[in-house]
């Protein structure tokens, strides 16, 4: 790590030491697990499907589920990386009081974190748009395989995977949809699409975590460009209430003007260094 970044890291460790923390994480944290970022350096421009697109009818749903059918097989093989494990270790040590993630991959929970708010939901769950029943994505994968034998295998490995668990596949017309096993209604991944609102209870719970830092804690942002208000609002809320904000990200973020410090570096490296310091005493806010 260049000397400038080492200096930033040292400043971040000094600032965070002895404080209770809340983490806000984004797609940049999962890149070391093989899941690409939307906006990281070198990432190609992508237009994810919006909620309006998805609910427009079977054609859009077929396009989404065909891509997701292929992408899911790849995404479910992803494993937590050192950044995920570092945050779990900080929680176990009593340093990290809660974790708000914009990711839908479920890797924080797999790494051992328990106080997790999945702000945008989890790709491992599916919801029926008609009866609202929630079911496992793995079961849907088996039904898709039965309805579309050989489809996933027919797609070459050169097809790029997207951060939300699908692939950039164009030929989807022949893919057969399956409906809810209870009512036959259309199925949607239980995640927040662009253009869809984050459930109010998750937002309120996230604000409450940040409020609990007032008077001595700090907000740690890891791997998020904070390009959308979904995550940026918590950074602004922390700043408004005098809570220090440390951002760890490769490249500038929309939250930089509201942050106390940004470390330009990889999440695995920086968070592992933070976990290794293991503050002996965490003061109460």
Catalytic residues: 120
281 is in an annotated binding site: no
64 is in an annotated binding site: no
39 is in an annotated binding site: yes
Beta bridge partners of 116: 99
Q: Dihedral, CA atoms, 16, 18, 20, 25, nearest 10 degrees? A: 30
CB 46 within 8 A of CB 191: no
279 is in an annotated binding site: no
Measured over the CA atoms of residue 218, residue 221, residue 227 and residue 232, the dihedral's sign is negative
131 is in an annotated binding site: yes
Rg (alpha carbons) of the chain, rounded to whole number? 20
249 is in an annotated binding site: yes
141 is in an annotated binding site: no
DSSP 18: T
105 is in an annotated binding site: yes
Spatial neighbors of 142 by CB under 8 A, at least 6 apart, are none
**Measured distance CA(53)–CA(267) in Å, rounded:** 33
30 is in an annotated binding site: yes
Residues at the binding site for NAD(+) are: 26-46, 102-105, 223-225, 249-251, 267
Residues at the binding site for Zn(2+) are: 128, 131, 180, 183
Residues at the binding site are: 26-46, 102-105, 128, 131, 180, 183, 223-225, 249-251, 267
């Amino acid at each position: 790590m260049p000397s400038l970044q080492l200096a930033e890291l040292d400043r971040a460790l000094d600032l965070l030491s002895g404080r209770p923390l809340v983490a806000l994480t984004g797609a940049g944290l999962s890149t070391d697990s093989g899941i690409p970022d939307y906006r990281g350096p070198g990432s190609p421009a992508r237009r994810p499907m919006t909620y309006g697109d998805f609910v427009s009818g079977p054609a859009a749903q077929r396009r989404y589920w065909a891509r997701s059918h292929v992408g899911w097989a790849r995404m479910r093989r992803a494993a937590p990386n050192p950044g995920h494990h570092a945050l779990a270790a900080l929680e176990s040590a009593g340093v990290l009081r809660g974790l708000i993630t914009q990711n839908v991959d479920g890797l924080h929970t797999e790494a051992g974190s328990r106080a997790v708010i999945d702000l945008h939901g989890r790709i491992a769950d599916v919801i029926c748009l008609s009866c609202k029943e929630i079911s496992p994505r793995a079961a849907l994968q088996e039904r898709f395989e039965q309805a579309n034998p050989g489809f996933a295998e027919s797609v070459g490995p050169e097809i790029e995977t997207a951060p939300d668990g699908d692939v950039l596949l164009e030929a989807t017309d022949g893919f057969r949809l399956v409906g809810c096993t209870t009512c036959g209604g259309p199925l949607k991944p239980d995640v927040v699409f662009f253009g869809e609102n984050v459930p109010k209870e998750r937002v309120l719970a996230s604000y409450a975590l940040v409020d609990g830092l007032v008077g001595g804690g700090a907000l740690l942002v890891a791997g998020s460009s904070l390009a959308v208000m979904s995550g940026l609002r918590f950074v602004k809320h922390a700043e408004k209430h005098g809570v220090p904000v440390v951002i760890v990200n490769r490249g500038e973020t929309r939250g930089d003007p509201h942050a106390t410090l940004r470390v330009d570096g990889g999440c695995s490296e920086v968070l592992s260094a933070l976990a290794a310091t293991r503050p002996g005493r965490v003061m109460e806010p």
